[in-house]
Amino acid sequence: MSEENTVKGKVEGLIPQVISIFMTYGIRSVTMDDIARHLRISKKTLYQYVTDKHDLVEKCMKYDCTLHDTGIRRITAENYNAIDENIEISKFIMQQLKGIHPSIFYDMEKYYPRAWALMQDTREGLAAEVIRANITKGMSEGYFRPDIHVEIMTRLWITRMNVIFDPKHFPMQEFNIAEVYAQMFTHQIRGLATEKGLKYFEKIQNNPNNTKHP
């Protein structure tokens, strides 16, 4: 293996640590010197793998999007009914949102627009696919209303999620994003559910020993 590939592999392996740094301290407030020091590598080594901080943020976002995609697809591959599948996905998303620095979304949208666009585009594409399939499944199972326009509801759901992560509407200094997501999720399921689906969802919500509820 060449020296260049060795350096690349070393720094790529440190990307999860870089993400952790950003999640803890924010993005804009952390310098490349800070990152190199946290990683215990020289800044010169860091710049052998990335051209600048924008490039590093984008690489972190690509890595995070891959993890997000893998986690969601692992859930959808299980034999859950539509409501349980939604709950498991929501638990996964809310776990990702815990401990995020309040400025993270603002920093990305304002100062790292390419990384922000990458996150939005990648997650919107996955969300549309998963939500569309989930609503269709729920309708066939009798948990969701048969009169739902799947495409309209899919786009509305995605739009609501985008609003949650827009710092102009829900600044993280004022709102717990995981709590905002949980409120949106409950409202969304109730809007979709038949009487059968609502009874099932309320049974899960009202049972404190049930681990399914997000």
> Which pLDDT tens digit goes with each residue over 199-210?
999 998 887 555
pLDDT in the model for residue 102 = 81
Query: Going by C-beta distance under 8 Å and a sequence separation of 6 or more, which residues neighbour residue 77?
Result: none
pLDDT bin (cut points 50, 70, 90) of residue 3 is very low
Is residue 171 very low, low, confident or very high in pLDDT (cuts 50, 70, 90)? confident
In angstroms, how far is CA 213 from the centroid of its own chain?
18
CA 179 to chain centre: 14
Tens digit of each residue's pLDDT (9 = 90 or more) over 18-49: 999 999 999 999 999 999 999 999 999 999 98
> CA nearest 148: which of 158, 159, 137, 163?
137
Question: How many residues does this entry show for the chain?
Answer: 214
pLDDT tens figures, 110-125:
999 999 999 989 889 9
Confidence category of residue 1, pLDDT binned at 50, 70, 90: very low
Q: Which fold has domain 53-206?
A: Tetracycline Repressor; domain 2 (1.10.357)
